[in-house]
Structure 1
Amino acid sequence: MNNRSKVCSSALEAIGNTPLIRLARLDADLPGQIYAKAEFLSPGGSMKDRIARQMIEDAERAGKLKPGDTVVEVTSGNTGIGLAIVCAIKGYRFIAVMSEGNSPERRMILQALGAKVELVPQGPGGKPGQVTGQDLKLVEERGRQIAQELQAFFVDQFHNPSNVAAHAATTGQEIWDQLEGKIDIFLDVVGTAGTFVGVASTLKAKNPAIRCLAVEPASAPVLAGKPVTSPQHKLQGSSYAMIPGLWRQDLCDGYLTVTDEEAVATARRLAAEEGLLVGYTAGGNVAAALKLAKECAPGTTIVTILCDSGMKYLSSDLFVKS
Structure 2
Amino acid sequence: MEKVFDSVLKTIGKTPMVRLDRLKAAWKLEGTLLAKLENLNPGSSKKDRIALRMIEEAESSGELEPGQPVVELTSGNTGTGLAIVCAVKGYPFIAVMSKGNSMERARMMRALGAEVILVDQAVGSPPGQVSGQDLDLVEERTQKIVQELGAFRADQFRLEGNIRAHEYGTGEEIWEQTEGCLDGFVDFVGTGGSFAGCSKALKKHNPEIRCYLLEPTSCPWLAKREVTNPNHRIQGGGYSRDLPFVDPSLVTEYLTVTDEEAIEGARALAQHEGIFGGFSTGAHVSAAARLLEGQEKGSTLVFLVCDSGLKYVSTDLYL
* Whole-Å separation in 1 of the counterparts to 2:204 and 2:48: 24
Structure 1 residues 241, 112: CA separation in 2 closer, same or farther (over 3 Å shift)?
A: same
Question: What is the CA–CA distance in structure 1 between the aligned matches of 2:225 and 2:295, rounded to whole Å?
Answer: 24
Match of 2:22, SS state, is coil
Task: Tell me the CA shift for residue 27 of structure 1.
Answer: 1.3
Q: Distance in 1 between matches of 2:307 and 2:79?
A: 13
For each residue in 1:42-61, what CA deviation from the matched residue of structure 2 results, as whole angstroms up to 9, or x when unmatched? 00000000000000000000
Paired AA for residue 254 in structure 1:
E
Percent identity between the two aligned chains: 54
Distance 2:160 2:64 in 1: 16
Taking only aligned residues, the RMSD between alpha carbons, in angstroms, comes to 1.0
| One-letter code aligned to 2:18 | I
User: Which stretch of structure 1 is more off in the superposition, 89-98 or 16-25?
Assistant: 16-25
Residue 23 of structure 1: aligned partner: 20
* Among candidates 6, 10, 30, match of residue 9 of structure 1: 6
Q: Distance in 2 between matches of 1:101 and 1:12?
A: 29
Cα gap change, 1:73 to 1:24, in 2 (>3 Å): same
Find the counterpart in structure 2 of residue 285 from structure 1: 284
Do 1:70 and 1:94's aligned partners in 2 also have CA atoms closer than 8 Å? Answer: yes
Q: Which residue of 2 aligns with 1:63?
A: 62
Aligned pair count? 317
For structure 1, the 5+ residue unaligned runs are: none
1:299 Cα offset (Å): 3.5
Does residue 1:44 correspond to 2:57, yes or no? no
Query: What is the identity, as a one-letter code, of the residue corresponding to 2:21?
Result: A
Q: TM-score, normalised by structure 2?
A: 0.97
For residues 6-61 of structure 1, give each alpha carbon's deviation from its aligned partner in whole angstroms, at most 9, with x where no partner exists: 32211100000111111111112421210011100000000000000000000000
Unaligned runs of 5+ in 2: none
User: Hey, what's the Cα distance between the residues in 2 that align with 1:284 and 1:151?
Assistant: 38
Q: Take 1:68 and 1:262, find their aligned partners in 2: how far apart are those partners? A: 44
* Alpha-carbon distance between aligned partners in 2 of 1:299 and 1:170, rounded to the nearest angstrom: 27
The whole-number CA distance in structure 1 between the counterparts of 2:244 and 2:210 is 22
CA contact (8 A) 1:48 1:79 kept: yes
AA of the residue aligned to 1:121 = D
Distance of 1:296 and 1:302 partners within structure 2: 12
| Contact 1:20/1:178, CA 8 A, preserved across alignment | yes
TM-score by length of 1: 0.97
1:197-241 residue CA offsets vs partner (Å, 9 max, x unmatched): 000001011100000010111111111111011111111111101
Alpha-carbon separation, structure 2, partners of 1:280 and 1:123: 22
The residue correspondences of 1:110-129 to structure 2 (distance < 5 A) are 110-129=109-128
Mapped partners of 2:45, 2:269: distance in 1: 16
Match of 1:177 in 2: 176
- Match of 2:2, as an amino acid? S
One-letter code of the match for 1:35? L
Question: In the alignment, what sits opposite 1:317?
Answer: 316
Q: Residues 147-202 of structure 1, C-alpha deviation per residue, up to 9 Å, x if partnerless? A: 11000101111111110010000000000000001110111001100000000001
Alignment of structure 1 residues 123-272 onto 2, 5 Å: 123-272=122-271
**SS of residue paired to 2:72:** strand
Alignment check: 8 A CA contact 1:27 1:293 kept: no
Q: Distance in 2 between matches of 1:63 and 1:215?
A: 36
Q: Quote the offset at 1:70 in angstroms.
A: 0.4
Q: Partner amino acid for 2:22?
A: R
Is 1:31–1:296's contact at 8 Å kept on the other side of the alignment? no
1:77 corresponds to: 76
Q: Look up the match of 1:97.
A: 96
- Kindly indicate whether the alpha-carbon contact (under 8 Å) linking 1:36 and 1:303 is maintained by their aligned counterparts in 2: yes
Residue equivalent to 1:274: 273
CA drift of 1:86 comes to: 0.1
